[in-house]
Structures are given as C-alpha cells and as structure tokens.
Amino acid sequence: MTAYPPIRVGLIGYGYAGKTFHAPLICATPGMELAAIASRDATKVHADLPCLRVLPTPDALIADDGIDVVVIATPNDTHAPLASTALRAGRHVVIDKPMALDLAEARALIALAEVSPGQLSVFHNRRWDSDYLAVKQAIDDGAIGEVMHFESHIDRYRPAVRDRWRESAGPGAGIWYDLGPHLVDQALQLFGLPERVHAGLAIQRTGGLSEDWAHVRLDYGTRQVIVHASMLVAGGARRFVVHGTRGSLVKAGADRQEAQMLAGQIPGTPGWGDDPDALIVIDGEGRETRRATAPGDQRAYYAGLRDALRGEAPMPVRAIEALATMAVIEAGFASQREQRAIDLPLTTDERMAFSRA
C-alpha cells in the first residue's frame, strides 16, 4: 500500500457548522489532519482543541502554505467570496452548504475551479445519514415498485426566533437556504433533475425576519416529490413517507449524528450513527415489514474527499451536483415571488454534466 502524508485542512469559521460538524469529522477521518482554524475567538477554539493553531483571519489561513484544503464554514453570504479567494490561491476548497447565494455565484466558482490547481466540493453531508440511506436502499431494492410520491421533512420545534445570522433578514438567511439544500440534494441523488419547481415559503413565527416554513414540490411528471421544513413542529411528523406502485415506505425517526456530536460523542466511537428506528415497508395488502436501519456515518464525506485528492476516487460531492441544488433553491425563491411553477434554470450542458456518472 502507498503511504500518503496526511491532508492538512484549514477550517474557516468555528460557529455551529464548524464546531459541530467539520472539526469533529475531519479529526476522526484517517488521513486527514485539522491543521488550523481561522476564527476571531481563539478562546472558543482552544476550549475544544487546545493545541490547534488559530489564525485571526480567513486570508491568513488561505495564504498559509501548510494548508492543502480550505473548508469554509462561515455565513452563507461569504461562501462564494472566500471560495474564490482560496481557489485563486491554488487551494482545494470545501464549502459548507449552500454552495453560494445564487446560480451566478455558483457558476462563477465552477468556472474558476476549472482553471485552478485546486479542486472544489460542497459539504452535502446528509447523503450519509441513516434515515436517507435506509430509504434509498429500499427504493433501490424495488421494495415498493416505482416511486410515485416522495415526501421528505426536516422539522424542528423552535418557536422563539434566535439572534443569529441564519434567522436574520440578511442575504442567505432563512430555512430554504439552511435546510433546503439538504432536502434537495437527497432528492436529486434519488431521482435526478425535476422538470419544474413549485414553492411555498412563509414566515410563521412571531418576530420572524426570514422564512421559517418551506413546502416545495419538485415536479417529475408522474412522480411528485415534496420537500418540507418548518420551525413549528412539536411532534407527529415523519422524516420520510414514500408511496410506490407496489406499496409504501415510512421512516419516522431522523438520523442521530448531529445530536451525538452536540452531546460530545466522537465520530466513529461505539454506537456512532446508530439508528434504533426501523424503516416500515407496507405492501399492497397493508401488511407491514420492519427493516433494521443501518448506522449512518458522515465521515464518509471526508474519507471520500481524501481519496479524491489522492486520485483514487471521484469527489464525494461534485461541484455540478451542488450547482444543480442551487438551481432548485433559486427556482424555489422565484416560484414564491411569481406564485407559479418555475422550470429548472439549468443549461443543456449543465444538465448533461450533472447526469454523467
């Protein structure tokens, strides 16, 4: 076996995404080394990672020749500018979802990556969630025949509006930017590109400044896909409900990795990603079969990134796939404004690039 040096990662941002997801997953992935973090709050970083280098600015981290990969886990409106700077510096770049604020920014990043020594990927980590993988496996197995109706929910009960950028009135805020990319990316992985997007977005909470409810239909013709997110669901919602020509699937409980990381569990330790909630398959006669849910493991994203940078595998999330997700997000906003279904705003070349294996 070839002995490789560790891939040195610089993380920009140590807010919720950087602290909860990126830092633990990078540190727990063999062959990856978290080498430095750019943060204005070194005390916060050192409380968790006392020996890690903390740089004062993103520019200082990007300019550091000891960094191979720059991971951007900052507010959404900074994703494209920071990624552009890092690509121009020749770094490999990982952007936390969403890729950018709009398609124009996303397209510019892909064009820049094509002429940069660095490669570009986007952190769509929910591809490695237990709930999604269980549903995907059952669909791939033909457990319910051809899928006709697919419904995916990420719901929370957070009635109080919090003082944070995700819930502000600023660019990149709101639930469609925050949770929409997770829901859309999973749907595109399962079914490819929809024909049209029909979205309803609303502010439901008292004092809300950005959308906190999203109900979006992806139109595939005979197949219809619903993706839904809300901040006012105290209970009763199911993570997935899927109906097909031979039966139905129900996955009630959600993947537990985020909760485990918030509780301080190290990725990969015993019980990591375990999901005690079974997938229920209902046949045409109404008979129920319970399928055990295999563990999820979001470390697979960083393991895939490691292998791609070594030239041993494709990128775990291709930039064109993230651009397609941005096309759906942008179409959703347009649909809400115009109160009509919107054709997916991708070029023929972009559609072909998405479809390539």
- pLDDT tens-digit readout, 255-281: 999 999 999 999 999 999 999 999 999
Burial class (CB in 10 A: 0-12, 13-18, 19+), 263: exposed
219 vs 229: CA distance, rounded Å: 18
What integer is the mean pLDDT of 100-111?
Answer: 98
**Structure tokens belonging to residue 304:** 């895939």
DSSP assignment of 210-268: S--EEEEEEEETTEEEEEEEESB--S---SEEEEESSEEEEE-SPP-HHHHHHTTPPTT
pLDDT over 80 at 1, yes or no: no
24 vs 36: CA distance, rounded Å: 13
278 vs 313: CA distance, rounded Å: 32
State the pTM of this model: 0.96
DSSP assignment of 289-321: EEEPPPPP-THHHHHHHHHHHTTSS--SSBHHH
- Residue 2: pLDDT band with limits 50, 70, 90: confident
Mean pLDDT, the chain, whole residue set: 97
Torsion angle defined by CA atoms of residues 210, 212, 218 and 222, in that order, rounded to the nearest 10 degrees: -150
Run of H or E including 17: helix 16-17
At residue 163, the pLDDT reads 95
CA atoms within 13 A on the CB side of 39: 25
Q: Within its chain, how far is the Cα of 242 from the centroid?
A: 21
Rg (CA), the chain: 20
Say which amino acid occupies 100: A
Collapse the DSSP code of 8 into the 3-class scheme (helix H, G, I; strand E, B; otherwise coil) and give the result.
strand
**Structure tokens belonging to residue 175:** 């639930």
At residue 227, the pLDDT reads 98
* Domains along the chain with CATH numbers: 7-123 (3.40.50.720), 127-297+329-343 (3.30.360.10)
Q: Of 162, 93, 154, 99, which Cα lies nearest the Cα of 126? A: 154
Q: How many CB atoms lie within 10 A of CB 57?
A: 12
Contact 154, 251 (CB under 8 A): no
Contact 164, 210 (CB under 8 A): no
What integer is the mean pLDDT of 185-190?
Answer: 98
122 vs 317: CA distance, rounded Å: 6
Share of the chain above pLDDT 70, in %: 99
Run of H or E including 182: helix 180-191
At residue 357, the pLDDT reads 59
What integer is the mean pLDDT of 290-305?
Answer: 98
At residue 293, the pLDDT reads 98
Work out the widest C-alpha separation in the chain, in whole angstroms: 63
290 vs 132: CA distance, rounded Å: 16
pLDDT over 70 at 43, yes or no: yes
